[in-house]
Amino acid sequence: MSGSTPDRDEPTTRGATGRRAGPAALAVGLAGVLIGGPAVAATADDSPPPDFVAQFDRAFTPGIIDQSMAVPTIKLPT
């Protein structure tokens, strides 16, 4: 019974790390191997942090919008 295997019962952090196998991550990984790995990662990590907090402060616009646009319908595709 698949439902009783430990993997399935663990929290889904495993699923998140599973994304490492995706094509984009794999490309970065291969490039890292070819060019020297750590240097590629360091380039990304050294980029200046975006000013997220300021963006959050500007993000909100008050007001009610058209309800017909906003209500998620629960109908499934037929």
Partner 1 sequence: MVQSLSLSPSRPAAVRAADAATRARRADWPTVVVSMPFMEFDRPSIQLGLLKTIGDAHHFPVRTLHANLDFARQLGAEQYRTLAKHRGRMTGDWLFSVAAFGADAPDPDGRLAVDFADDLAYLGDPDTARELLLRLRRVEVPSYLDALLDGFDWGGVRVVGFSSTFQQSVASFALARRLKERHPELVTVFGGANFDGEMGVELVRATDCIDYAVVGEGDVAFPALLAALADGTDPGAVPGVARRVDGRAVLTPPGPPVRRLDDAGPPDYTEYFSRAERLGLLDPAAHRSTWIPIETARGCWWGAKHHCTFCGLNGTTMEFRAKSPARVLTELATQARRYRSFRFEAVDNILDMKYLTELFPKIVDSGADYRMFYEIKSNVSRDQVRLLARGGVDHIQPGLESLSTRVLGLMRKGVRAAQNVNLLRWSRYYGIDVAWNILWGFPGETAADYAEQAAAMPHLVHLQPPGTAGRIWMERFSPLFTDSTRNRTLRREPETSYRYVYPDTVDLDKVAYFFEYELADALPDDTYHGVRDAVEQWTAAWNGPTRPQLTYWYAPGFVQIYDARHPGSEGTYTFHDELAEIYHACVDRPITADGVRDRLDRTLPADDIRVALREFGRRGLMFLDGNLALSLALPSSPGR
Which residues ranging from 9 to 68 are in contact with partner 1 (CB under 8 A)? 9-13, 15-17, 19-20, 22, 24-25, 28, 41, 44-45, 47, 49-50, 52-53, 55-56, 59-65
The answer to whether the CB of 7 falls within 8 A of the CB of 14 is yes
Which DSSP symbol is given to 2?
A: G
3-state class of 36 per DSSP?
A: coil
34 vs 55 by CB, closer to partner 1: 55
User: Of 16, 17, 18, 39, nearest to 28 (Cα)?
Assistant: 39
Give residues in contact with partner 1 (CB under 8 A). 1-4, 8-13, 15-17, 19-20, 22, 24-25, 28, 41, 44-45, 47, 49-50, 52-53, 55-56, 59-65, 69-77
